[in-house]
Amino acid sequence: MLEKNRKHYLSVIIFMVAAAITGCKDGTPERADSEIVEENSSLYAPDKGDNINAEDIGKIYGGIYDEAVKLGRSDSLDIIRRIVSGLGEKGYVAVDDRNQVDMAGAGQAQEFCKAVEEKKSAALTIIVVMETGFRKLDLNTEDGKVNVVSGYYKYDQNGYLQNISTVSYPVSLWKYTEEGYLIFAGSYFSEDSYVLTLGDATEHTALRILPLEEKCRALNRKYILPVGYERNNMFLCNWSEEDYGELNFYDIFDRFYPVLHGRHAPYAANGNLEKGGTFQIPEGIFEDVITTYFPVDRSILRSKVKYIPESAAYEYRPRSFAQADYSDIPYPEVVSYVENQDGTLTLTVNAVYPYENTARSFCHKTMIRPLSENCFQYVSNQMISMEGGCDFWWHADRAEEEEKEKFENTALTAAEQLKEVYREIELTEAPFYGSGIKVFTEDQCREAVSILGNAGYVSVTEDTNMKNWEKVEGFYRAYTEKRDAEVTIFNVNSDGYLGAVTFICRKGELQTYFVGIGWKEGGIPEIRETSVRDIEEINLTEKGYFIYAYKNPIVHSSLRQYWRIKPLSDRCRELTSKYVYGLSYVNYNVLVTNWDKSNVEDILMPCMFEDIYRIHTGENLKTENRRIPGETYEKIMTIYFPVSTEQLREKCGYDRKSDSYEYEMIFPRQYPPFGEVVDYKENADGTITLIVDGVWADYNSDLAFTNTIVVQPFEDGTFRYLSNTIEPREMEVPAIWDRMEKE
């Protein structure tokens, strides 16, 4: 499925120690070291003891670094291992931040965990060693509750130890896992975090207490860690040398080119931050990178990626800057291995994910075929089934980005068909979600829909039957049959803005990808916005309403969205527009009460005049001092209802002194139903009987109730409502509005 909108947060991240991956050719792998440090956190004033301890730790830390520099040794892992060991010799509990070294003083940590479980009082300090400094975690527990003081220390350019930040928080999650990890998390106030998220910052910590066989760590550093889980799906899907499945070879090329050649690939994204340029990579270069590390036949490789025979090259589009994974992702840890009889190695790998408070977010088995001392190939990867499945929400799949690009190109290609409709438009300033077109008529909307429909696209605009609606029906059928499918609906908005909504069904999951098209002078289309949203459910009713609900509705938006896909006769649309559109089911009683001339007084309410005035004039009601002249009020109401002036004056707030009626505002109701004429009968006496279905899409119904409304047309174009009856169908009739409710 497509990449979801990402969460934002602040956290402390130091990337894993540098690890080398060795192929069959000379090459120095690029370092992936990076550091993001939160500096504006809630400050904690350390006491004197904290300062002394930090200085002691700093002396051990700095002394080992100084010795390494004098000896010309720069192996960061060796240095970190010596620092952890040195701290352990001094009685400290110490471990590195990526758990590449066994914890020193692990017994103390286990005793503290036992004290937490037994609700005893205890204290523990853990030093988490980083390449550029260390975290000092002071833990205290009492009655099963744990509090943490977390300090980050770093050397400045002059060699002085600095307390970059210290925060304190109560632990909200604490667990000691089967894998031997201590995992805890807690939140604290941070001004930076509050600006970005309007909430507290959260610290997640995962530290391995139990030792791990050193060979597991060595195999991890050689084969798994250098690839990792970032910007590739090599360890996120099932594949083998017999069937490479969904393995993305473009990402493989990105990952292994620097390893093989010792430099960055020259095929980088251009200055457009949203889309990279397209390159043609000579087949020799592309295939050499892939086949060095994977036993894949060139014919299979060419079927998996876009090969251009006439150019003897592979078409390649680099990931754009927007195609990044979430900023904090899991990291792999080899926990066991098997040396197979055929010489291959099978590694069992757990994905450790502190952010999700787990030492086993998912698990996979990866097979390696060593070829010589410094040469090997990846043979297969098998995902181990996890309870609840694997949710790689943090990962941006390159195939998804290619799919997005396809949808965007489809939208632009369709919009190109409409140049003549938009050629003479006049543009004005408008918000980003508007077209900016000064005038765009209903006829232009319908013409655009017709052109798109004739070109084979599903298209619709307000009060017009959808073109090629059968494709939506086919999509829904595929969904119910658990088949993958997609369909794009082009909606021409009343202001000329073109929205392309692609519905996607993949493995039973539903999403939409929206592309908003605006226009430049001369009818030139351009993409104004895109978005991905998850869908909770869809429904295609027997009458032909396609109704769907997003998993996370926007605040104040409708509960469900909808389109009528099956056609409605032009006459029914005409009757709906003239007699039903503009009447409310929830603001007054006209549609929810059974009435005729004999009990018309039951529906007379002051607030109804606003809608009747709009139906009569086509304009919104404007008043002076919230009063409506009696002549205006009575003239209009006696046209549209079988009522007398006396009845109006009694029921609708008439003031004899000013000869006026008080204006009673309609208070909008969220998610109201609307009516549509689905059948009618032209009676011998000139009246028309309308059969009206109440559509309440927010409650997944296009047949909530049925009204029978009798109207009497007049020669001047006005008409009169003579009676109404309502029958509940899929829903109960809305409660009769009580004007006292708003008071």
d(CA 617, CA 639) in angstroms, rounded, equals 13
Considering the domain architecture, whether residues 602 and 496 belong to the same structural domain is answered as: no
Structural domain including 488 reads: 398-567
d(CA 173, CA 477) in angstroms, rounded, equals 45
Which tokens go with 381? 């990867």
12-71 confidence digits (pLDDT tens): 222 223 333 344 443 333 333 323 233 333 333 334 334 346 777 777 766 676 665 555
In a domain, 22, yes or no: no
d(CA 268, CA 674) in angstroms, rounded, equals 53
Considering the domain architecture, whether residues 378 and 435 belong to the same structural domain is answered as: no
Considering the domain architecture, whether residues 278 and 312 belong to the same structural domain is answered as: yes
Specify the pLDDT at position 388: 57
608 Cβ contact partners less than 8 Å away, ≥ 6 residues apart: 587, 588, 590
d(CA 190, CA 611) in angstroms, rounded, equals 51
Q: Report the alpha-carbon angle 555-557-563, nearest 5.
A: 150
Q: Check pLDDT > 80 for residue 323.
A: no
Would you place residue 1 in the very low, low, confident or very high pLDDT band (cuts 50, 70, 90)?
A: low
For residues 29 and 698, which has the higher predicted lDDT (pLDDT)?
A: 698
Considering the domain architecture, whether residues 367 and 471 belong to the same structural domain is answered as: no
For residues 216 and 434, which has the higher predicted lDDT (pLDDT)?
A: 216
Q: What is the CATH number of the domain that holds 277?
A: 3.10.450
d(CA 498, CA 435) in angstroms, rounded, equals 8
Considering the domain architecture, whether residues 435 and 522 belong to the same structural domain is answered as: yes
Considering the domain architecture, whether residues 156 and 223 belong to the same structural domain is answered as: no
Would you place residue 455 in the very low, low, confident or very high pLDDT band (cuts 50, 70, 90)?
A: very high
Three-state SS letters, 372-407: ECCEEEEEEEEEECCCCCCCCCCCCCHHHHHHHHHH
Would you place residue 134 in the very low, low, confident or very high pLDDT band (cuts 50, 70, 90)?
A: confident
* Element (DSSP H or E) covering residue 138: strand 133-142
Domain count for the chain: 4
Boundary of a domain, candidates 384, 411, 430:
384
Specify the pLDDT at position 276: 45
Inter-residue contact 517 to 437 (CB < 8 Å) = no
- Look at residues 79, 77, 75, 74 and name the one whose alpha carbon lies nearest to residue 60: 79
Across the chain, which distance is largest between two alpha carbons, in Å? 109
Specify the pLDDT at position 386: 64
Considering the domain architecture, whether residues 378 and 446 belong to the same structural domain is answered as: no
- Look at residues 705, 704, 707, 698 and name the one whose alpha carbon lies nearest to residue 677: 707
Specify the pLDDT at position 434: 78
In a domain, 29, yes or no: no
180 Cβ contact partners less than 8 Å away, ≥ 6 residues apart: 208, 209, 210, 212, 359
Q: Which of 434-438, 522-526, 695-699 is predicted with the least confidence, judged by mean pLDDT?
A: 434-438
For residues 168 and 270, which has the higher predicted lDDT (pLDDT)?
A: 168
390 Cβ contact partners less than 8 Å away, ≥ 6 residues apart: 236, 361, 362, 383
Burial of 42 (0-12, 13-18, 19+ CB in 10 A): middle
In a domain, 455, yes or no: yes
Which residues does residue 459 pair with via DSSP β-bridges, in sequence order?
467, 490
Considering the domain architecture, whether residues 206 and 220 belong to the same structural domain is answered as: no
In a domain, 247, yes or no: yes
Considering the domain architecture, whether residues 519 and 418 belong to the same structural domain is answered as: yes
d(CA 275, CA 86) in angstroms, rounded, equals 49
Q: Check pLDDT > 60 for residue 3.
A: no
Specify the pLDDT at position 391: 78
Specify the pLDDT at position 429: 79
730 Cβ contact partners less than 8 Å away, ≥ 6 residues apart: 701, 703, 704, 705
Half-sphere exposure of 461 (CA within 13 A, CB side): 21
Considering the domain architecture, whether residues 194 and 332 belong to the same structural domain is answered as: no
Boundary of a domain, candidates 567, 592, 623:
567
In a domain, 14, yes or no: no
227-257 confidence digits (pLDDT tens): 999 989 999 999 999 999 999 999 999 999 9
Q: Which of 290-299, 549-558, 566-575 is predicted with the least confidence, judged by mean pLDDT?
A: 549-558
For the chain, give the percent of residues with pLDDT over 90. 62
Considering the domain architecture, whether residues 603 and 689 belong to the same structural domain is answered as: yes
Boundary of a domain, candidates 545, 567, 589:
567
In a domain, 699, yes or no: yes
Q: Which of 149-158, 486-495, 508-517, 718-727 is predicted with the least confidence, judged by mean pLDDT?
A: 149-158
Specify the pLDDT at position 320: 60
In a domain, 26, yes or no: no
Considering the domain architecture, whether residues 180 and 303 belong to the same structural domain is answered as: no
Specify the pLDDT at position 270: 53
* Element (DSSP H or E) covering residue 536: strand 524-540
In a domain, 332, yes or no: yes
